[in-house]
Amino acid sequence: MANLELLITKILHWEGGFVNHPYDRGGPTNKGITLRTWQSMGYDKDGDSDIDVSDLKLLTKADFGWLLRNYYWDRWRANEIRNQSVAELLVDWLWCSGKPAITIPQRVLHVKPDGIVGPVTLAALNATDPEKLHLRIKHERIGFIHRILEIDITQQCFRNGWLRRIESFTYEKPKSL
């Protein structure tokens, strides 16, 4: 089964510290966590009775790990995914893009694309050749990026980084026991 700890370092490699890029549709982020996402957590880190950019700037690696586990790893039920490479690619996509990172793979797996990872989605995922599935998911994810770029020209500045990030998720054959 997949292990979250192996993914944390990979995502943090791509997610720097605090950034407030004018073209980032997520707005201010820290460690890849948007202000809106942190506000939805309801945690006023600096205790000043509001959740704002100053709270976002205080996020720690522990905050990142907690959020990743509870809202992304667990949403994909990644502990139940048999292949680490597939789990990492799926959870990273969810981290970056939200619900389409579930519905598009569900279409690939020929299950109802409802955005909810349940036993049917997991069974289909775990029954599919993991190396072929990994390649197909990467292909779909790259296509998703290209569709974003066609719709919104301002996102072109992120193109190379997004594609390098996706390419960094290589398939690794499971080690034999």
Q: What are the structural domain ranges in the chain?
A: 4-168
Centre a 10 Å sphere on the Cβ of residue 141 and count the other Cβ atoms it contains. 25
Contact in structure between 121 and 40 (CB atoms under 8 Å): no
Whole-number pLDDT of residue 174: 82
123-170 tens-digit pLDDT: 999 999 999 999 999 999 999 999 999 999 999 999 999 999 999 999
Pick the CATH number of 4-168 from 3.20.10.10, 1.20.141.10, 3.30.70.890, 2.60.40.10: 1.20.141.10
Q: Is 170 helix (H, G, I), strand (E, B) or coil?
A: coil
Predicted structure pTM score: 0.94
Regions of the chain with pLDDT less than 50: none
- CB 57, CB 45: distance < 8 Å: no
Q: Which two tokens stand for residue 68?
A: 């990743």
pLDDT of residue 129: 98
User: Would you give the end-to-end CA distance of the chain in angstroms?
Assistant: 14
State the pLDDT at residue 152.
96
**Residue 18 DSSP label:** E
Query: What per-residue confidence (pLDDT) applies to 175?
Result: 76
